[in-house]
């Protein structure tokens, strides 16, 4: 126990030292994961310096909560962290939202990220993600198990171009190859049955590829347990 006391005092002294240091610089870093740039550091820097008077103010007096709220509210920001340093720099680390689909709703178009949160389209960047047609954002969120599967499985990601969600909750796919509608079934069933249905679809597509004919069917239904029904 005695050995732990000086360590605690050292941390306390360091914290107090940082609080007394004036803010001399604002250092913002934005992760460029997978080449995305919905958000960039210069834009955030201009926003923060215009709204907040930070320079030469003691670190202890900086409105960190308000600063965090402002940055987090920007389109494309998933999270941010603030870290004052003894060198006088306020370090801001920003993580971007990662879209899984471009969602077409009756009255607007937006992105939906991996948590099901919506984000506005960007003039600076277009994400290469499937297009999802849905009657509401809640209906679009029901497709998250499928979207996460596409995100982690290159074969399905390259094959599937569009996803359609009907008013009754049924989900259908439109592959890039051929004019065919693939009926997956009700969204509520896919949490448990998605992998099995996609495996049946893969087996069917493999057979079609071997025969060299991918365009003879107009509709494929996977909504019946253990079955695949193809219609010309």
- Summarised one tens digit per residue, pLDDT across range 102-129 is 999 999 999 999 999 999 998 888 999 9
The pLDDT-based confidence of 213 (bands split at 50, 70, 90) is low
Mean pLDDT of all residues in 29-36: 83
Asked if residues 149 and 198 have their Cβ atoms less than 8 Å apart, the reply is yes
Q: Shortest CA distance to 142 belongs to which of 184, 180, 175, 110?
A: 184
DSSP secondary structure letters along 186-218: EHHHHHHHHHHHHHHHHHHHHHHHHHT--SS-S
Strand partners, 27: 91
| pLDDT at position 2 over 70 | no
Tell me the per-residue pLDDT of 160-178, one tens digit each, with 9 for 90 and over.
989 999 999 999 999 887 7
Q: Residue 13: pLDDT band by 50, 70, 90 thresholds?
A: very low
**pLDDT tier, 224 (very low <50, low <70, confident <90, very high otherwise):** confident
What distance in Å separates the CA atoms of residue 105 and residue 43, rounded to the nearest whole number? 29
The span from the CA of 195 to the CA of 145, in Å, is: 10
**Which tokens belong to 201?**
């679809």
Q: What are the distances in angstroms from CA 151 to CA 145, 147, 206?
A: 10, 6, 21
């Amino acid at each position: 126990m005695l050995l732990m006391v000086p360590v605690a005092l050292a941390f306390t002294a360091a914290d107090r030292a940082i609080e007394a240091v004036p803010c001399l610089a604002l250092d913002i870093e934005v992760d460029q994961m997978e080449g995305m740039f919905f958000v960039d550091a210069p834009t955030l820097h201009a926003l923060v310096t215009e709204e907040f008077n930070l320079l030469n103010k003691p670190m202890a007096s900086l409105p960190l909560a308000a600063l965090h709220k402002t940055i987090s509210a920007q389109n494309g920001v998933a999270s941010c962290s603030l870290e004052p340093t003894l060198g006088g720099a306020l370090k801001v680390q920003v993580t971007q939202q990662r879209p899984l689909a471009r969602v077409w709703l009756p009255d607007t178009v937006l992105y939906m990220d991996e948590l099901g949160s919506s984000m506005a389209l960007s003039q600076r960047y277009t994400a290469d993600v499937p297009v999802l047609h849905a009657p509401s954002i809640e209906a679009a969120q029901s497709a998250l198990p499928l979207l996460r599967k596409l995100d982690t499985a290159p074969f399905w990601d390259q094959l599937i171009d569009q996803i359609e969600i009907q008013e009754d909750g049924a989900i259908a796919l439109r592959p890039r190859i051929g004019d065919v509608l693939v009926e997956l079934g009700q969204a509520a069933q896919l949490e448990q049955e998605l992998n099995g249905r996609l495996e049946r679809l893969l087996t069917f597509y493999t057979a079609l590829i071997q025969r060299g004919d991918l365009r003879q069917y107009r509709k494929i239904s996977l909504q019946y347990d253990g079955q695949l029904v193809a219609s010309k």
